[in-house]
C-alpha cells in the first residue's frame, strides 16, 4: 500500500508518460497511426478509480494536449471531458466487458473524441479532413488490451486504490 | 491530481462546467491578445514534456553517430570541406555584390538594406495535430525570440514564430492553412500571396488573374511587403498553372523549397533594425518590383 501522495504520483506519472508519447517525434509513415496514448491512459484511470480521476482530470489533460499540439485552447479539453463523462457514467458496466469489447468501446470513444475536435476545428479554422484522420481509433483499439493489462499491473503493484 | 471540481457535484454538472469553461477558453483564445500571456505561461509549463519526448530520438542519433565508421566520417569531412570552399568562394563574390548594391542604392538615394543576424535552433517536436502545420524549437524568450519572427532553413523560408515560451517557441509553417506569405515571382516580378493548404508539398497562390504572367518552374521570393519577412528569400517553386476561364481566378500551385516535412535545424532571423513596426517594415517606396530585380 503506497501513501496517498505516492498513489497520486503514480497516476500523474502514467498520465505524463501518455502526454510524452502523444507528442514524441515519429517517422512519417507511422505518424497517422499514432494511438491516443494520453486519452487511453486517462480512460483507464477513470474506469479504475472513477471517484479520484474523472472529468476534472480529463479537462486538465485535454488542456495540456491543446498546449502541446498548439490547437486553440479548450478544444481537446472539451473533447476529453465529454469522453471521460461517458466512461465515468458507465464504468461499472465497462469493467465487466471482455478486453475485446473494451477495445471496441475505446475505438468508438476515440472516434467520438476526434469527431468533436474536427467539428470545432471546422467551425473555428475551417479545417479539412484527411482520409487518415480516424486511423488512431483503430490503433488505439489494438493497443488497448496490452495497455490495460500493463496499467492494471502498475496499479496493483503500487496499490493505488 | 488537482481537485478542480467539487467532489459532491454530479457528473453531469461537472461535464457542463467543463464544457462551459472550454468554450470560454476557446472564445478568449480566438481573441489572440487576451490569451497570449496565458499561452506563454502554459507553453513554459509543458515544455519539459516536449524536451522529454525528444530525448529518445536524440539518443538514437547519438548512438548512430558513435557507431559510424572512420571512413564514412572522413568521406563526409572531405565533402564538407569542398562544399565550404565552394561557398566561401561564392561569399567573396556576394560580399562584393552586396557592397556594390549598397553603393548603387546610396546613389539612388534609397534606403540601404542592412544585414540581419541569425541563430540556429533545433526542432524538438513536430505536431501530430492534423489540422495545423507547426513545429516546436528549442529556443525561446531567453534567447530573444519574438512573435512573428521569420524562420528559414538552408533552402528557403520555413515559417514564422507563432507563440513563445521561456525556452521553446512554436513555429507556424508556411504550409499551414491559416498562413499566407507575400511573394514576388522571379522572372516577371509579379506580387502574389502564397497560401498554405495543410500539405507540406503544396501551396496555393491566391487571387491570380488569368492574364498574369506566371509559368511553371518559376521561383517565388519573399517580397518584403507586410514587413514580417525580409525581402529576397526563396519561398516556393510554381508547379502548376491552370487557367480555367469558368473560375474567377487562375489556379496556381507551388511547392515550398524548404523541406517542411523533414526539418531538423532552422535559422531564426533578426532584422538589423530591431524596431520593426507591423506596417512599415522594409518596404522600399521608390523601388518598382520589376526594376528591383534587374
The predicted-structure confidence for B140-168, as pLDDT tens digits, reads as follows: 888 889 989 999 988 899 999 988 888 88
Asked if pLDDT for residue B224 goes beyond 70, the answer is: yes
Q: Higher-confidence residue: B34 or B119? A: B119
Here the ipTM equals 0.86
Query: What is the average per-residue pLDDT within B242-271?
Result: 88
DSSP label of B108: T
pLDDT of residue B293: 34
For chain A, domain boundaries: 4-157
Strands B150-152 and B250-256 turn out to be unpaired
CA distances from B176 to A78, B66, B159, B173 (A): 24, 36, 9, 6
Asked if pLDDT for residue A50 goes beyond 80, the answer is: yes
> Does the pTM exceed 0.80?
no
Distance (Å, rounded) from C-alpha A86 to C-alpha A107? 13
Tracing cell 533594425 back to the chain, one arrives at B273
Which fold, A4-157? Arp2/3 complex 21 kDa subunit ARPC3 (1.10.1760)
pLDDT band at A116 (very low <50, low <70, confident <90, very high): very high
Strands B265-270 and B117-126 turn out to be antiparallel
Distance (Å, rounded) from C-alpha B66 to C-alpha A26? 22
Q: What angle do CA B258, B261, B264 make, to 5 degrees?
A: 75
Distance (Å, rounded) from C-alpha B9 to C-alpha A54? 12
Question: Do the beta carbons of residue B16 and residue B10 sit within 8 Å?
Answer: no
DSSP label of A72: P
Tracing cell 526563396 back to the chain, one arrives at B234
Q: Which domains does chain B have, with CATH numbers?
A: 34-67+110-294 (2.40.10.340)
Query: Which chain B residues in 162-221 lie under 8 Å from chain A, judged by CB atoms?
Result: 162-163, 170, 177-178, 198
Distance (Å, rounded) from C-alpha A157 to C-alpha B9? 31
pLDDT band at A1 (very low <50, low <70, confident <90, very high): low
Name the grid cell of A122. Answer: 471546422
Handedness of CA B51, B55, B56, B57 (dihedral sign): positive
Query: Which chain B residues in 146-165 lie under 8 Å from chain A, judged by CB atoms?
Result: 162-163
Q: What is the pLDDT of residues B37-71, one digit of tens each?
A: 888 888 888 888 888 888 888 888 888 888 877 88
Query: What percentage of chain B carries pLDDT values higher than 90?
Result: 23
Query: What percentage of chain A carries pLDDT values higher than 70?
Result: 99
3-state secondary structure of A96: coil
pLDDT of residue B17: 92
The mean of the pLDDT values for chain B is 82
Query: Which runs of E-coded beta strand occur in B104-190?
Result: 117-126, 134-137, 150-152, 157-164, 169-173, 180-185
pLDDT band at B284 (very low <50, low <70, confident <90, very high): very low
CB of B267 within 8 Å of any CB in chain A? no
pLDDT of residue B259: 87
For testing contact with chain A, the best of B1, B27, B172 (most A CBs within 10 A): B1
Question: Do the beta carbons of residue B49 and residue A22 sit within 8 Å?
Answer: no
Q: Shortest CB distance from A130 goes to which of B25, B130, B162? A: B130
Q: What is the pLDDT of residues B2-31, one digit of tens each?
A: 455 545 678 889 999 999 999 999 888 887
Distance (Å, rounded) from C-alpha B291 to C-alpha B229? 20
Distance (Å, rounded) from C-alpha A109 to C-alpha A74? 18
pLDDT of residue B118: 85
Q: Higher-confidence residue: B253 or B130? A: B253
pLDDT band at A155 (very low <50, low <70, confident <90, very high): very high
Q: What is the pLDDT of residues A7-20, one digit of tens each?
A: 899 999 999 999 99
Distance (Å, rounded) from C-alpha B51 to C-alpha B38? 20
Distance (Å, rounded) from C-alpha B289 to C-alpha B294? 9
3-state secondary structure of B140: coil
Asked if pLDDT for residue A103 goes beyond 90, the answer is: yes
Amino acid at each position: 500500500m503506497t501513501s496517498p501522495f505516492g498513489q497520486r504520483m503514480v497516476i500523474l506519472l502514467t498520465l505524463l508518460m501518455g502526454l510524452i508519447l502523444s507528442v514524441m517525434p515519429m517517422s512519417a509513415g507511422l505518424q497517422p497511426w499514432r494511438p491516443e496514448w494520453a486519452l487511453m491512459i486517462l480512460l483507464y484511470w477513470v474506469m479504475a478509480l472513477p471517484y479520484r480521476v474523472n472529468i476534472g482530470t480529463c479537462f486538465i489533460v485535454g488542456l495540456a494536449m491543446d498546449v502541446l499540439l498548439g490547437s486553440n485552447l479548450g478544444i481537446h479539453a472539451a473533447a476529453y471531458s465529454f469522453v471521460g463523462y461517458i466512461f465515468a457514467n458507465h464504468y461499472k458496466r465497462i469493467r465487466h466487458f471482455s478486453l475485446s469489447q473494451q477495445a471496441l468501446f475505446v475505438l468508438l470513444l476515440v472516434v467520438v473524441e476526434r469527431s468533436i475536435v474536427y467539428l470545432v476545428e471546422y467551425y473555428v479554422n475551417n479545417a479539412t479532413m484527411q482520409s487518415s484522420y480516424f486511423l488512431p481509433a483503430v490503433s488505439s483499439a489494438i493497443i488497448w488490451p496490452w495497455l490495460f493489462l500493463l496499467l492494471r499491473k502498475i496499479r496493483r503493484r503500487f496499490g493505488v486504490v | 491530481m488537482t481537485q478542480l471540481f467539487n467532489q459532491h457535484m454530479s457528473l453531469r454538472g461537472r461535464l457542463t462546467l467543463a464544457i462551459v469553461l472550454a468554450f470560454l477558453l476557446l472564445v478568449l483564445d480566438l481573441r489572440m491578445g487576451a490569451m497570449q500571456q496565458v499561452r506563454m505561461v502554459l507553453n513554459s509549463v509543458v515544455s519539459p514534456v516536449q524536451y522529454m519526448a525528444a530525448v529518445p530520438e536524440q539518443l538514437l542519433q547519438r548512438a548512430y553517430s558513435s557507431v559510424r565508421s572512420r571512413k564514412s566520417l572522413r568521406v563526409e569531412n572531405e565533402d564538407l570541406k569542398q562544399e565550404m570552399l565552394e561557398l566561401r568562394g561564392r561569399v567573396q563574390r556576394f560580399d562584393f555584390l552586396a557592397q556594390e548594391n549598397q553603393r548603387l542604392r546610396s546613389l539612388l538615394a534609397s534606403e540601404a538594406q542592412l544585414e540581419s543576424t541569425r541563430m540556429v535552433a533545433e526542432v524538438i517536436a513536430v505536431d501530430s495535430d492534423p489540422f495545423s502545420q507547426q513545429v516546436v524549437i528549442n529556443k525561446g524568450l531567453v534567447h530573444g525570440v519574438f512573435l512573428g519572427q521569420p524562420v528559414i532553413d538552408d533552402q528557403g523560408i520555413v515559417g514564422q514564430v507563432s507563440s513563445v515560451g521561456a525556452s521553446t517557441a512554436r513555429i507556424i509553417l508556411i504550409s499551414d492553412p491559416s498562413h499566407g506569405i507575400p511573394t514576388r515571382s522571379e522572372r516577371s516580378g509579379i506580387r502574389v500571396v502564397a497560401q498554405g493548404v495543410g500539405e507540406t508539398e503544396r501551396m496555393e497562390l491566391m487571387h491570380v488573374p488569368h492574364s498574369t504572367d506566371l509559368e511553371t518552374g518559376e521561383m517565388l521570393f519573399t517580397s518584403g511587403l507586410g514587413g514580417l519577412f525580409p525581402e529576397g528569400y526563396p519561398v516556393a517553386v510554381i508547379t502548376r498553372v491552370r487557367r480555367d476561364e469558368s473560375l474567377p481566378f487562375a489556379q496556381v500551385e507551388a511547392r515550398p523549397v524548404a523541406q517542411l516535412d523533414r526539418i531538423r535545424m532552422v535559422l531564426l532571423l533578426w532584422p538589423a533594425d530591431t524596431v520593426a513596426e507591423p506596417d512599415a517594415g522594409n518596404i522600399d517606396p521608390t523601388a518598382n518590383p520589376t526594376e528591383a530585380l534587374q
